[in-house]
């Protein structure tokens, strides 16, 4: 969690003045009783209002509450806003707790075309075999796959690589990738003329199929799950 706090602090320091002002307004909007602190009750209302159901887990609030006083001050709330924008609210599917660092993900579930649902578990649950999933599941940790994904990009033909990097640049500029269309980006990589759609800087629609992995990399170094052979084959499509 300390890594996320440091990242959030650095991210905030580089925000333009108008965005820092907006962060302050967001904090005040959450602090209904104006006591300078966000209680658990006040916190729970905010993600529900924003329809960000991933953030209703009390384990996220507990992780944010650095001094464990039962409420969030402005500095702690900045971490919340950073997590919401970067899409780093990953919950263990076994013990139902917030995963602030490394975790394992089922690559088959991540790349299932019919659904955007994934299956991630914390290191403790994976190491202790405290989970129930389909028998042929291949679990990969996110750090290893980050390196392997870079190798897959570098091995791709230059024309494909350029398209991928261009799309990745868009993903970096538009953080908080939470909703995915699995068709558009694959068609872009194949050279077809598809248009990206989106309605705000916190949601970037039109990212699909196997390159979902790379766009998650662009928004957060902890949000990875992959089937490298499948990913590589997509990059090699003529």
Give tens-digit pLDDT for 164-195: 666 555 544 443 333 333 344 444 444 444 44
Residue bearing the bigger pLDDT, 95 or 165:
95
Out of 53, 86, 119, a domain closes at: 86
- Same domain, yes or no: 136 and 38: no
Tokens read off for 220: 């957060």
- Same domain, yes or no: 57 and 144: no
- Same domain, yes or no: 140 and 209: yes
Q: What is the DSSP letter of 54?
A: G
Give tens-digit pLDDT for 189-225: 444 444 444 333 333 333 333 444 444 433 333 333 3
Give tens-digit pLDDT for 12-49: 999 999 999 999 999 999 999 999 999 999 998 888 88
Out of 56, 86, 116, a domain closes at: 86
- Same domain, yes or no: 113 and 217: yes
Residue 184's domain spans which residues? Answer: 103-235
Tokens 């990212």 locate to 207
- Same domain, yes or no: 160 and 63: no
Q: What is the DSSP letter of 34?
A: -
* Residue 218 counted as domain residue: yes
Q: What is the mean pLDDT of residues 104-108?
A: 82
Domain count, the chain: 2
Q: What is the DSSP letter of 115?
A: -
104 three-state secondary structure: strand
> How many angstroms separate the CA atoms of 163 and 185, rounded?
9
> How many angstroms separate the CA atoms of 85 and 216, rounded?
12
């Amino acid at each position: 969690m300390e890594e996320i706090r440091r990242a959030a602090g650095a991210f905030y320091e580089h925000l333009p003045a108008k965005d820092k002002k907006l962060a302050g307004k967001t904090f005040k909007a959450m602090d209904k009783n104006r006591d300078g602190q966000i209680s658990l009750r006040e916190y729970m209302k905010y993600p529900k209002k924003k329809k960000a159901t991933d953030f209703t887990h009390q384990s996220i609030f507990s992780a944010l509450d650095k001094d464990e006083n039962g409420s969030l001050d402005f500095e702690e709330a900045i971490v919340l806003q950073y997590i919401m924008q970067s899409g780093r609210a990953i919950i263990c599917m076994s013990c139902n707790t917030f995963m602030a660092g490394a975790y394992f993900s089922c690559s088959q579930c991540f790349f299932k075309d019919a659904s955007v649902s994934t299956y991630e578990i914390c290191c403790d649950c994976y190491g202790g075999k405290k989970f129930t999933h389909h028998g042929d599941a291949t679990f990969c940790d996110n750090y290893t796959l980050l390196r392997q994904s870079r190798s897959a990009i570098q091995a791709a033909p230059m024309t494909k690589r350029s398209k991928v990097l261009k799309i990745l640049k868009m993903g970096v500029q538009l953080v908080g990738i939470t909703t995915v269309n699995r068709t558009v980006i694959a068609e872009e990589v194949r050279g077809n003329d598809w248009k990206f759609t989106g309605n705000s800087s916190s949601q970037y629609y039109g990212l699909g199929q196997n390159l979902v992995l790379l766009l998650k990399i662009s928004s957060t170094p902890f949000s990875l799950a992959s089937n490298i052979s499948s990913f590589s084959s997509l990059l090699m499509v003529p």
